[in-house]
Amino acid sequence: MFIKSVEWLDKEAQEAEIIVSDGEFEILCFSHPFTKNINDKLSDPIFCIDATDIMISDESRLLVNRDGNSYRYFVRGKLSDKNKKIVKLGGLILCIEDSYFPVDILENSIVEFSVSRFNLY
């Protein structure tokens, strides 16, 4: 994962909208405080704010779709760590820790969900 682009909302307050990519997938994230640079590599997960409708997917193809110009996305990824609620979308590492997660979903399942916003801290 790396930072593809940065658009400052308030540079003094360190608030930015950033595009994070793995070369195949990319997502818009809100970041505060943002102290990194374009092309910096990221190892910490991206946090999913208000993830809803988490379920096992009938589809196997990974994808991410943005809802217009908003922060909202639909995601389909692989649950790589059920305890930490880590979903991988290619090389992107997403954490959905603050949302209800169905107990019947097994690790390595393809899951899908909606998210209100991605945050990078």
pTM: 0.93
DSSP state of 117: E
Query: What is the pLDDT tens value at each position of the chain, 121 positions in all?
Result: 999 999 999 999 999 999 999 999 999 999 999 999 999 999 999 999 999 999 999 999 999 999 999 999 999 999 999 999 999 999 999 999 877 888 899 999 999 999 999 999 8
Q: How many domains does the chain have?
A: 1
Q: Which domain holds residue 50?
A: 2-120
Round the CA-based radius of gyration of the chain to a whole number and report it: 14
Distance between CA atoms of 73 and 114, rounded to whole angstroms? 6
